[in-house]
Structure formats: C-alpha cells, structure tokens
Amino acid sequence: MIDDLDRIEQQGRERIASAATLDELRGVEAAILGKRSELATLKKCLADLLPDERRQAGQALNAVRSRLAAALADRRHELEDRERAERFSAERLDLTELTERRRRGHLHLVTQTRDRLEDLFIGMGFTVAEGPEVETDWYNFEALNIPPAHPARGMWDTLYVEHGAEQSTLLRTHTSPVQIRVLQAQQPPIYSVMPGRVYRRDTPDASHLPVFHQIEGLVVDRGISMAHLAGTLEAFTSAYFGGSIHSRLRPSYFPFTEPSAEYDINCIICEGSGCRTCGQTGWLELGGCGMVHPNVFAAVGLDPEEWTGFAFGFGIDRLALMRHGIDDLRELFTNDVRFLEQF
C-alpha cells in the first residue's frame, strides 16, 4: 500500500504541474482527490487491514492527500496570477504609445455634435448665443411664465445652489433661460441658437443623465407662424439626418410656448416601420417646441401684438446617440478611449 501511495503522489504531482489552465487544474483535482480517485479507492480498502496496519496506512494516506492538496493550491495561485497578468496585458491601454506614434486625439463626440448643430443653424441664418449654467429662479422659471409654486415646475427636477435667498439660485434645468437673456440683450428680429450644459436631479440610466446638453432655438420677428416652426425643423431634420428622415409635431404643453408641441422624427433604425428602439411607433421624440408665449414677451418688455416667434429645445447628447446608433447615454461620459476613438 505504501508503494501505491508513493506512486499516486508522484503521478499526482506530475499531473498538477502539467495543468496549463485553471479549468484543467479543476479536472486534475477531481481526478486525484475526488470520489472516484485512486486515493478514495485505497481509503475503502483500509477497512480490510489489521488495526495496527490500518492506523499506519491511514496516516500515510492522509499525509499524501494533504500534500497533494497543498500542491494543487500552489499551482492554482500560480495559474491565477498568470491568467490575471495575461488579462491585464490584453486589456492594457498604452497611452504613451499614442503620443510616440504621434497619433492625435480628437474632439469628444458631444462636442463634435454641438459643432455640427451650430454649423447647420449658422448655415440657415442663425447666430449662436450662450448663457450661464448657474441661473436665478427668475431666468430659469419666472420669466418663462412659470411663477413660484406653479405645478409645471414639477417638469424639471431642479438642483439648487446655496446662494442668496433659499431656492433663488439654481443650476439651469434647460437652455430656455438663454432665450430671456438674448431677448434682453438685443432687439428683434432674432434668429439664434443657444447650446449648453444643463442639470437635473436624475439618476443616470440608459436615457437619463443628471448633466446633459441642450440646444435651444429662438426666432422672433413680425408675422412668424407655426408653419415657419414646422418648416425650420423639417429643414434641420434632413440637414442633420439625411433626406430619408422626416419630422412631425405632436400637441404638447410647455408654459413658455402656446401652442406647444413635441418634435418627433422617423425612427433612424427602422425608418418608420416600427422596431424596438421606437417602441413600434416608427417615431422618436427629440424635444419640445412651440410659439413663444405672450407672457414671455411681456417679461422682457416686448409687445406681443407686434412680435411673434417660435422656440425649440433638443437634447444634443440624444441627437449624437441617434445619429450613431448608440443605445446608452452613459457611454458618452464613461470616457473609455476605446469607445470614444470610434467617432
């Protein structure tokens, strides 16, 4: 029996040493220590020995068993270390190499999208304006026909800044306050777009981020109608998405426009026939729009009898997603170079 044990230990050690992966090692472990191993069979034979011999052989068997178990554990650590090192080198991002090869980076997809949108609207005769990200309640809400405690405030989950009177200062929840700043700073006619970062108290998921980007549009002139709004958005849609994608307006509500509409485009995945991305409707929602409310003109001292206008606001990040068929907004800000390099 002692001879058997020596042989079993010797063969066991050889098999352990030659296991090249963790998977193989698991197989070896079952074969040499498992229920159907030679050791297990020998153990059953102990019962047939005389008490003295049984004790001696039993001790020898247990010793072999624990030496093999220790050898297995050592080998497992070795293989784990090796597999981890291999994974690290496979997933490694060598950023120094990028500069050695003189490869240049490029603008982030959201910045590219914003630039493209600005270019498109400039081509259509618009100017570009910007406003602050920290706003007062008056610009973000009141001047936009949303008085304190108005139920429509619930449409925007607001992040407040500790400054001045309580809830008087906030991170802008949309780019619409820039409409007010533009109206204060210049006389109509106005044809402006206003891109920028906005903030909402939202938990990040595939379609929401607490920090995202919008582009606002504002047109104020004499005799502007809903037809101008629809025509402008349709022209924008084919310029941005190409001629096969069209837009529609769907009745909606915003306090600062009347009438208000949701701006939808044909689903860019199925082009209107219905798929998962558009929930089988064939349409994707891009943003809000409408005719500037007379109270907004009143807030900046313009005569609503003389001036008419339209406004719109879209999510820039969403526009980037749709144009490139990305399905999770969070990808844009995880900033994995391997993802960003594609655009």
Q: Which residues bind ligand PHE (CB under 6 A)?
A: 174, 176, 216, 254, 257, 260, 287-290, 311-313
Least CB distance to ligand PHE at residue 124 (A): 17
Strand ranges inside 121-189, DSSP E? 127-128, 134-136, 169-171
- As a whole number of angstroms, the distance between CA 127 and CA 119 comes to 10
- Residues forming beta bridges with residue 127, ordered by sequence position: 192
Least CB distance to ligand PHE at residue 167 (A): 19
Residue 66 one-letter amino acid:
S
CB 171 within 8 A of CB 159: yes
CB 313 within 8 A of CB 289: yes
Nearer to ligand PHE (CB atom), residue 65 or residue 174: 174
Report residue 310 CA to chain centroid gap.
Answer: 31
> Greatest CA separation found in the chain?
115
Q: Which pair of structure tokens corresponds to residue 296?
A: 């907004």
Least CB distance to ligand PHE at residue 241 (A): 20
CB atoms inside a 10 Å sphere around CB 334: 9
Nearer to ligand PHE (CB atom), residue 61 or residue 291: 291
Least CB distance to ligand PHE at residue 260 (A): 6
The residues, ordered by sequence, that sit 6+ positions from 67 with a Cβ below 8 Å of its Cβ are 9
Q: Which pair of structure tokens corresponds to residue 218?
A: 């504002």
Q: Which pair of structure tokens corresponds to residue 45?
A: 């034979």
Residue 152 one-letter amino acid:
A
Least CB distance to ligand PHE at residue 276 (A): 25
- As a whole number of angstroms, the distance between CA 126 and CA 105 comes to 30
Least CB distance to ligand PHE at residue 252 (A): 8
Nearer to ligand PHE (CB atom), residue 8 or residue 233: 233
Strands 283-292 and 257-266 come out as antiparallel
Q: Give 152: exposed, middle or buried? Use CB within 10 Å, 0-12, 13-18, 19+.
A: middle
Least CB distance to ligand PHE at residue 319 (A): 14
Least CB distance to ligand PHE at residue 176 (A): 4
Nearer to ligand PHE (CB atom), residue 72 or residue 121: 121
Nearer to ligand PHE (CB atom), residue 209 or residue 289: 289
Q: Which pair of structure tokens corresponds to residue 307?
A: 């001036």
